[in-house]
Amino acid sequence: MRKTIYMSEPLICLAEETRGDSRRTSGFSRRLGEIVERYKIMLDIDAQKLPELTDSELEILGEVVMGSVIDARKIRGLHLDPLDAATGTPEERKGLAAKIEPLTAGQRLALVEKVEGQA
């Protein structure tokens, strides 16, 4: 099945890195497939270790995540974002921040994927 994908900045860099790489028989496509598989493995493992969130906490997190650029800075500071949300009570926002703070980067990504998948 042939698909067309948008060549965003990270994909352009990956294409450049894999160009002329004799160790990889199919270069870009093969490497992209490996990255996607590994990302899924990481998410599957880390999703098993996520804290239980209430419907209200999921709503707050949805406000924080939806429409946002998810980059390293967002993942590092994800535990602070609920404190500035308009959704939920101050106690709910503080409780959510406390649940997110001890999470690893992989767990935070899994949480973002979970919230985006429910939208």
Spans of all domains in the chain = 9-47, 55-118
Confidence band of 24 (pLDDT split at 50, 70, 90): low
Give backbone dihedrals phi and psi of 102, rounded to 5 degrees, phi first: -80, -5
d(CA 16, CA 39): 21
> What pLDDT does 27 receive?
84
User: Is the Cα dihedral 41, 46, 49, 53 positive or negative?
Assistant: negative
The identity of residue 93, as a single letter, is R
- For 50, phi then psi, to 5°, come to -80, 145
Tell me whether residue 96 is exposed, middle or buried, using C-beta atoms within 10 angstroms of its C-beta: 0 to 12, 13 to 18, 19 or more: buried
**Amino acid identity, residue 47?**
A
Is the pTM of the predicted complex or chain greater than 0.75? yes
pLDDT tens digits along 47-71: 899 999 999 999 999 999 998 999 9
pLDDT at position 64? 95
